[in-house]
Structures are given as structure tokens and as C-alpha cells.
């Protein structure tokens, strides 16, 4: 039997943040099995772990296909290693196929800090198409690349209220060619808020998206002239992230809570 853990990531309490499944294998099975498990789980991401010496190989799958980078499932994987799989080190090095090595550090207060690449964004020219997908026109749009064939669009609005009120048209997202669209704005109680829509990846709205903050942190750091920021993703579940810009890297801090442990009948 193979254990499966379901964890709420970027959550301060149960039923908050973003659920992710975590599965450890001794060796990599066929990709078709990894995809089938993720499809069956029907969560935004399922994270897979295989030990590689002192490091851990890590991959992420949505219900539809493999992704280049996923923050909340990385946080969930680190949580499972520390709480359930007996890992004792102060930091974990994950080896990924498309995003290099990712380091997660356990803090004294029990939170987990993840170091990811900072992703620069550039101006984008599909304003009318993005407006049609989101159902509202942002003041500017940008694009950032996770890999040669995966990118997100960033749509910047004037207020958090505009972001909260968005009612996207899922049928319009396919024409954008992106992994998803991040809607964001400066806020009063946090430095910025966001929502993330990726219906083309089988995710109408992601509850909390760590990878999106690899783009948002450098953007808002430049806009607000500060390197440490507090962010809130204002989905129905919502979640809080600490964000720190470290040159060409981004540190994202959050907590994770167990929801379920089960066994796969493979």
C-alpha cells in the first residue's frame, strides 16, 4: 500500500488555504500513473516525492497535466516530510525537473519558508482578450514565464474590491495561451491581494497559489518600494503568505495543516 496525505497549505486553520495531496514513491513510476492519481484526486495539485541521497526529487501534477512550479504543494510536501516521514534537517532541498533546486526551511515558530526563483514580468498586449476572460478591464497586464512553454498573465487592478468582484468567463481563457491569469491589486490590510484563474489547467480558481507570488513579489516590491510584504489570496477559502524578495529569489512563508491520511490501492 502507498500512503497519501492531504494537506491544507498556506492555512492557519483547517478548511483554509489550498489543499494538496502528497505521495512518496521509492522510485518513479510511469508518468501515466502519476497523472491518473492526480486526476482521481481532483485537487489543484498532487505532489510526488522520491528520495535522492540527502535531497528529494519533487514533481507536481494537476488533474490535467504536469506543471513547472507549484508553491502550495511544495509547502505540503515539506510539511509531510517533517511531520510524517521523519525528516530531521533544518532545511529540505527539492530537486525539480523544470524549476531547479527549491529549498524549504523550518522556522522556529513552526512555519515553513520556501525559496523559489523570482520571475520577472514584462508588459503584455492582449488587454481586450484578458478583459473578456476576467469580465472586467485591468489597468495593466503583464506576463511572466515559468518555463519555455508555461507562463502566467498578471492583470493589475486599481482596488482589492475590483479583484474580489471578478466573475470570469471560463470559455475565454483558452484563447490566452497561458497557464492562468493572476488578478491583483494593492490593499489596505495587506500589501496586496490576488486571485488566480486557470480553467485551461482544470482549475477554475485556485484557492492559494504559491507560484503566482514568484511573479507578484518582485512586481509589488518595485511598486511599493519594500522587500518584505504580506499577501492575501482572496479566494473563497483564502490564505496568507509572507513574501520576501531576495535578489533573484523569492522567499514565501506559510503554514500547513493535516486534513487526511489514506492509502492508495495500486
Catalytic residue positions, numbered:
45
**DSSP SS3 for 18:** strand
Least Cα distance to 114 among 87, 83, 75 occurs for 75
Q: Residue 106 and residue 170: Cα distance in Å, rounded?
A: 38
Our CA angle for 197, 226, 222, nearest 5°, is: 60
Question: Are the CB atoms for 155 and 181 separated by under 8 Å?
Answer: yes
Least Cα distance to 149 among 98, 216, 195, 200 occurs for 98
Least Cα distance to 231 among 220, 107, 16, 181 occurs for 220
**DSSP SS3 for 40:** helix
In the 3-class helix/strand/coil scheme, how is 89-151 assigned residue by residue? CCEEEEECCCCCEEEEEECCCCCEEEEEECCCCEECCCHHHHHHHHCCCCCEEEEEEEECCEE
DSSP 199: G
Amino acid at each position: 500500500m502507498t500512503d497519501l496525505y492531504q494537506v491544507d497549505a498556506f492555512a492557519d486553520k483547517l478548511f483554509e488555504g489550498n489543499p494538496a495531496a502528497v505521495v512518496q514513491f521509492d522510485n518513479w513510476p510511469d508518468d501515466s500513473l502519476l497523472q491518473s492519481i492526480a486526476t482521481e484526486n481532483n485537487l489543484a495539485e498532487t505532489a510526488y516525492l522520491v528520495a535522492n541521497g540527502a535531497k528529494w526529487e519533487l514533481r507536481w501534477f494537476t488533474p490535467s497535466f504536469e506543471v513547472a512550479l507549484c508553491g502550495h504543494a511544495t509547502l505540503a510536501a515539506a510539511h509531510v516530510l517533517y511531520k510524517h516521514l521523519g525528516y530531521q534537517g533544518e532545511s529540505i532541498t527539492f530537486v525539480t525537473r523544470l524549476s531547479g533546486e527549491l529549498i524549504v526551511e523550518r522556522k522556529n515558530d513552526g512555519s515553513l519558508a520556501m525559496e523559489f526563483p523570482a520571475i520577472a514580468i514584462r508588459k503584455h498586449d492582449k488587454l481586450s482578450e484578458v478583459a473578456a476572460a476576467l469580465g472586467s478591464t485591468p489597468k495593466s497586464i503583464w506576463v511572466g514565464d515559468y518555463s519555455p512553454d508555461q507562463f502566467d498573465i498578471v492583470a493589475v487592478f486599481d482596488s482589492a474590491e475590483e479583484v474580489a468582484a471578478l466573475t470570469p468567463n471560463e470559455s475565454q481563457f483558452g484563447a490566452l495561451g497561458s497557464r492562468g491569469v493572476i488578478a491583483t491589486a494593492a490593499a489596505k490590510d495587506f500589501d496586496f491581494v490576488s486571485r488566480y484563474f486557470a480553467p485551461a489547467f482544470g482549475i477554475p480558481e485556485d484557492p492559494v497559489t504559491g507560484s503566482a507570488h514568484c511573479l507578484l513579489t518582485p512586481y509589488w516590491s518595485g511598486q511599493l518600494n519594500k522587500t518584505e510584504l504580506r499577501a492575501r489570496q482572496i479566494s473563497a477559502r483564502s490564505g496568507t503568505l509572507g513574501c520576501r524578495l531576495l535578489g533573484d529569489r523569492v522567499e514565501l512563508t506559510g503554514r500547513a495543516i493535516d486534513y487526511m491520511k489514506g492509502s492508495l490501492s495500486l
